[in-house]
Structure 1
């Protein structure tokens, strides 16, 4: 039977079974979030809170005879939380020790969808999606709350080649995403050259994702914004955790130094340089199979090979609550991937040849943030950050005395001043100033023959931003209007970028959401040669120069409708996105336009659909995205439009999770239509040593299908110690998926087809202990 049909049948059988199971459930303690949903329906009220405020709290349902005030008083007695009615419908929930002043500056951001897909993920009225890894439940294929893997489960977000370092949001390329870690802009986001998130999942508690309608305080990225923050509140006791999986070991510690200070530490290191696992083999094959390092053996006979690969990351955060109104936060981080790859082989003329290859990818970063709350409801903050990214490679042909050295380096210094003013319970103002200085260095040096190239560019950007948030008296309507004004010094360009968010609730359970934005970007990634950095990390960062690399601009608008009632969520959102001034060299063409310099744009039109049903112990969802993503360049293809290299017309994800007591299990199915590629006119024609191609991206790969499963069991070995063991399998049926196809010549000057394959059957095990 067709696999897609099997998945669909399984999906509806599961829903039916879960409904039967749910109807037989007896009254037991429920998560507080479920109690709040019942009260919202009964009393026609809205609760606003941070997810971590109510996590881990369970209770029985309240009596139906209580008034709203009596219900809130009872909730306060049971949970020891504060429930403050800001109007006849709007209720804000805060911890017991939270000041009244702090709740006034935060209450406009309201959670409107709780447990979006799974526990720990929620949606707010300003259009952002928030994930709390501390409250995170489980997702298929994940046994750890991997930050960027979680993001890819959201509708409209995926990676066309399974790499964390290549997240595509509504048809955009990864370099068009703004990824912030504690305010530091990140130019490296993955380990194992993109397959694993480089951010420690056990300190990175809060992730905010914005696909459209981005706050005006964020700029210099034309696609999404992903902001990652570690825990930001002081703990009263030491919290330590250690663990490991089939690739690495890690640990973290939260250490109170005094009543006002705390130190947070985390470290992770792979042991892949000393021990090889099944997981490592699958990852290694995925990354290196089609790289230059492996391709060289196709032409020669490999006699010996020695590889040493490792990755690590380190993070430290210092928290200082100066007083009741002032805070200081300092963060430092370091992450790295290191590869040494040596080969000895015989050439086609029976000579020996030895090569020594080295590839290093390293990031350093630091940030310092000071914030102060003033008595009149004004919050001031100042932040400094520094980000350093360095990718360098050395390829030494020892026998022929040839050495190739490549380096791509980014240095980013930033300053941001923010002010927020709560004018009333219905109006809030946010504004500020941001300065950035970004320098990019590209270096290439060749010995025998001798050649050296060094290019360094710098862009300084000044930006003013401001926005107003407003609620209607009934609390049914929320509007955020803002704009960002940027000046790019080197380019002498001045841009005004308005953004808006409108959220309207009607008929109790329906919401209408409209979002829009204009954005720009002065730094992008290009591909000079397909085998740069051995073909493993082909992309290198480059600044706009106003000539062959212009300033990128974009516009986006979307409108969505959602229904949320009785733990059933149904939503549909249509969107349009246009990105202008992209370069052909940034798109990774592997056809007749591989070395063409041209400027153009792409437009994306799409629909995201989601249905999510939650029961007492079960949760299931089905998401579908349709999008049409087309290029249009000034000269390529005679200025006629053609499919984007990462155009995926149809994407379907479905998942089932079960959570009972200390046991969790999840299974998920992922399907999408194939990527475009350019086929040759004639595979046999090699008369002029060039490949004659058909119309660009006029052919399609076969469909992609993958099934993942994961399970976690928690237990307490002794008092004060919590432990968990997890197991997962990525691509459990070992499905062979072609994710990219291109053509080249072999040693006999014949045209050969190269197919890049996805991850094969990839198991993983983990064990963790928290003290």
Structure 2
């Protein structure tokens, strides 16, 4: 076969030109290929035919070179003719908006094409698309996304990135306990669930179970609705979900968290030195946040365990918006698993659900829970964004009480429900290189309701506790320099609390509503030195409670100093207050399962709770070793006996008092390869002071003097393993006087308050997770865990009651026994 050069081909006589369409018909007969084209596209195109000795592929190459068309040969002997794809060039320089320094290795995406910047912050890429969304991302800076039309611009772009708000709150310790748990320069401990590995006994990343891994934090009764931080009660924790205050924290009436970890990306715990932007929570602040970035592709997760089923999607809506939705529901409607049975028995223990009055039986017990969460993000432009958050959660328990009365069998239904619904709208605006603002409005509603029947007395008892809060927050950020930021803001809240007790026979109704409005302004300075060795957070918050015409000023401080290459010193202090607290009217309120109800301060019998706290610590980190030691002192005034959960002689006493707590938290961690070992120890000394009680000072109900937590984990590419134990001193308890258990008035005769202790608590847990990888992005996670492997019988509470014979009877509340769980999760 003779191959002619292009020069000789082009040298043919132009008078020999023929219509291109005729030439294609000739090629079809000669070579057996079929040409697919638009006749309007070919038009009256003419061309000098190639040499007849050329092969088919050479002839196609000739046509591409001498026409304005693109020829694509397919495997089924078709040739597609189309207009050639044009190529465009996009270039630009990426710089810091604050310092003006070029940002090397920033990621740039335009359509499906991507590249990174060089050392001078310069990028260049070629694309077949002349318009679309150009996205620039860089660690520590806000993502910059905007619509760009190449045809309207001939010069290289000049793009400046703004530092993220958390730039001054940099991580100082990565993997504080395990991967995904970090310590921040503001003193907070943060869990990033997108990087989180595994803790013993947990195969699902339960938000409020996970924070109990931190030193100084535990639950006196193993629930997420009773988390005790440095001797405080659970209601003294401010719980925020995207800056929306939440008054309910648990499903199964406290055994698991209501916050879905699939949509909750980060959770930060602040025990002290809280930002002046926050109020309430005299013991701690637990702040959860959803993802702050738009997604450009669809992702999802579906999972099931012995407790619940769970679904999550994250999907773009156009080019400027994306939405995340997460839903979860109890498995009890489909099957009753060993885990479900263990949880149900735990919440029903020593309550009317478990055992009713003589001759009354309980049957048809049904329990269900669900939650739904939504986050919608809309990038209005490169300077403004809108965020909408919604969360709803519910628990419902129903059972039937039956009895034979006057030879007639009677049955009625008792029920208990706990519901929360909350939503918030946030608008964020970056006005210029230095100034930005955030406006937020939110509403949160909580309702606890019990419908209790008494067949023997033909009586119905209705109880309700409702909290409704509306808040408005304006927050301004001004960068005085690249290392100094000034924050200012205004916060308004209106909180209404309703309590109802309604009996139909005899008719009794106790209904009251309390409303409190609070106006607050705050200011705060954030300083971080250029060498990143010094961090100072100094703020003050002014609160005005209009109902009482009362002003409260609260200074806050957080200081962090690197005093050597591997050694850091820190100190935090704060004054805080809170106007809502949980009280107990009777231990059998709400069927005895949930006996705490929210109450607003009246500035008298229920005082405003005030706290003072200071803490200081050292941390050393080198070659995988971490040693963290922190001492603290906390004083909280304005508590009441009804808020502390007494089950002794002070159960029905209504007195005001205070408590103080001091102690030390110690953590040792070592990493090597894929292994991670940690051990923590906490010492706590906490005492009540009630001037009106016979014992003015005695140990707090939450004074667990010594506690130790230790574990080891392993992580490879696809396998995670974790095992560990928890041990702590038994909680204080009050015994009866031996040999004289009932006094002359026929009442229980108690010894000195909290003079004894329950047996020590011990629990050993294990968990495992294995990931199976399919074609991207599909993965399958298989998990298994065992809580309390040795089935240790831990007593977490006890109390005494007089039975029908007026003799004492002890009631003992046990912790969860051995609880297995398995899970399966598909990521796509």
TM-score (norm 2): 0.81
Q: Does 1:196 align with 2:256?
A: yes
- CA gap of 1:685–1:169, structure 2 versus 1, over 3 A, is closer
Corresponding residue of 1:314: 372
2:714 corresponds to 1:658:
yes
Deviates more, 1:624-633 or 1:465-474: 465-474
Taking a change above 3 Å as real, the CA distance of residues 97 and 418 of structure 1, as seen in their structure-2 partners, is: closer
State the partner residue of 2:33. none
Of 507, 515, 537, which aligns to 1:450? 507
Within the candidate set 288, 296, 301, 2:348 is matched to 288
> How far 1:747 sits from its partner (Å)?
2.6
- Residue equivalent to 2:396: 338
What is the RMSD computed on CA atoms of the aligned residues? 2.3
Structure with greater contact order relative to length (CA < 8 Å, sep ≥ 6): 1
CA contact under 8 A between 1:81 and 1:96: conserved in structure 2? no
Match of 1:544 among 589, 601, 608: 601
Structure 1 residues 678 and 147: CA distance shift in structure 2, 3 A: same
User: For 2:343 and 2:363, how far apart are their aligned partners in 1?
Assistant: 18
Would you say the 8 A contact 1:353–1:397 is kept in 2?
no
1:127 aligned to which of 183, 187, 198: 187
Name the counterpart of 1:205. 265
Partner of 2:700: 644
> Is the 2:582–2:596 Cα contact (8 Å) retained in structure 1?
yes
Contact 2:107–2:117 (CA<8 Å) still a contact in 1? yes
Q: Per-residue displacement from partner, 1:680-725 (whole Å, max 9, x unpaired)?
A: 1136644643101011111100100000110000012444311101
Q: Where do 1:32-431 residues align within 5 Å?
A: 93-94=140-141, 100-103=160-163, 105-296=165-356, 299-300=357-358, 303=361, 305-345=363-403, 354-398=411-455, 400-431=457-488
Q: Pick from 578, 587, 594: which aligns with 2:644? A: 587
Is the CA contact 1:721–1:769 (under 8 Å) kept in the aligned structure 2? yes
Residues 411/477 of structure 1: CA separation in 2 closer, same or farther (3 Å cut)? same
CA distance in 1, matches of 2:711, 2:274: 28
Structure 1, 390-399 or 705-714: larger mean CA deviation: 390-399
Give the equivalent residue in structure 2 for 1:465. Answer: 522
Instruction: Name the SS of the counterpart of 2:548 in structure 1.
Output: coil
- Take 1:234 and 1:335, find their aligned partners in 2: how far apart are those partners? 25
Query: 1:458-511: per-residue Cα shift (whole Å, max 9, x none)?
Result: 000000011101123433111110000000111221010000001000220000
Instruction: State whether residues 637 and 696 of structure 1, in contact with CA within 8 Å, keep that contact through their aligned partners in structure 2.
Output: no
Q: Say whether residues 1:755 and 2:812 are aligned partners.
A: yes
Q: Which residue of 1 aligns with 2:685?
A: 628
- Once the two structures are superposed, residues 117-152 of structure 1 have per-residue CA deviations (whole angstroms, 9 ceiling, x without a partner) of 111111111111111111111110111111111111
CA distance, structure 2, for counterparts of residue 351 and residue 666 of structure 1: 57
Task: From the superposition, tell whether residues 295 and 323 of structure 1 become closer, same or farther in structure 2 (CA, over 3 Å).
Answer: same
Find the aligned partners of 1:148 and 1:683 in 2 and give their Cα distance: 44
Cα distance in 2 for partners of 1:80, 1:180 equals: 38
Per the alignment, residue 572 of structure 1 pairs with 629
Which one of the candidate residues 705, 723, 727 is aligned to 1:671?
Answer: 727
Distance change in 2, residues 1:96/1:579 (3 Å): closer
Q: Given the alignment of the two structures, is residue 731 of structure 1 paired with residue 791 of structure 2, yes or no? A: no
Local SS of the residue matching 2:163: helix
Aligned partners of 1:353 and 1:399 also within 8 Å: no
Query: Unaligned stretches of 5+ in structure 2?
Result: 1-102, 109-113, 121-137, 146-158
Q: Relative to 1, partners in 2 of residues 1:303 and 1:397: Cα closer, same or farther, differing over 3 Å?
A: closer
- Give the corresponding residue for 2:738: 682
Q: Secondary structure at the match of 1:637?
A: coil
Kindly indicate whether the alpha-carbon contact (under 8 Å) linking 2:105 and 2:119 is maintained by their aligned counterparts in 1: no
Contact 1:364 1:388 in 2 (8 A): yes
1:491 and 2:521 correspond: no
Determine helix, strand or coil for the equivalent of 2:187. Answer: coil
Relative to total residues, which structure has the larger helix share, 1 or 2?
Answer: 1
For the Cα contact (< 8 Å) 2:140–2:164, is it kept in 1? no
Q: Distance in 1 between matches of 2:597 and 2:738?
A: 33
Counterpart-to-counterpart distance in 2, 1:73 and 1:221: 42
> Alpha-carbon deviation of 1:512?
0.2
Q: How many residues end up aligned between the 2 structures?
A: 691
Gaps of 5+ in 1: 1-71, 86-90
Preserved CA contact (<8 Å) 1:355 1:395: no
Compute the TM-score of the two structures, normalised by the length of structure 1. Answer: 0.86
The 1-side partners of 2:428 and 2:469 are apart by 22
SS in 1 for 2:386: strand
CA drift at 1:74: 8.5
Deviations 1:190-236 (A, max 9, x none): 00000010011111001111110000000022111111111121111
Say if 1:164 and 1:190, in contact at 8 Å, map to a contact too.
yes
What SS class does the counterpart of residue 286 from structure 1 fall into? helix
Q: Helix, strand or coil for the counterpart of 2:556? A: strand
Q: Distance in 1 between matches of 2:361 and 2:165?
A: 67
Distance 1:235 1:590, change over 3 A: same
- Structure 2 residue aligned with 1:598, among 637, 655, 677? 655
User: Do the aligned residues in 2 keep the contact of 1:356 with 1:397 (CA within 8 Å)?
Assistant: no
* Aligned equivalent of 2:590: 533
- Whole-angstrom distance in 1 between the partners of 2:187 and 2:374: 31
Is 1:599–1:633's contact at 8 Å kept on the other side of the alignment? yes
Whether contact under 8 Å (2:141, 2:161) holds in the other structure is no
Match of 1:711 among 759, 768, 777: 768
Q: 1:444 to 1:378 in 2, by over 3 A?
A: same
Quick check: 1:304–1:345 contact (8 Å CA) kept in 2?
Answer: no
Q: Provide closer, same or farther for how the CA distance between residues 566 and 407 of structure 1 changes in structure 2, counting only shifts above 3 A.
A: same
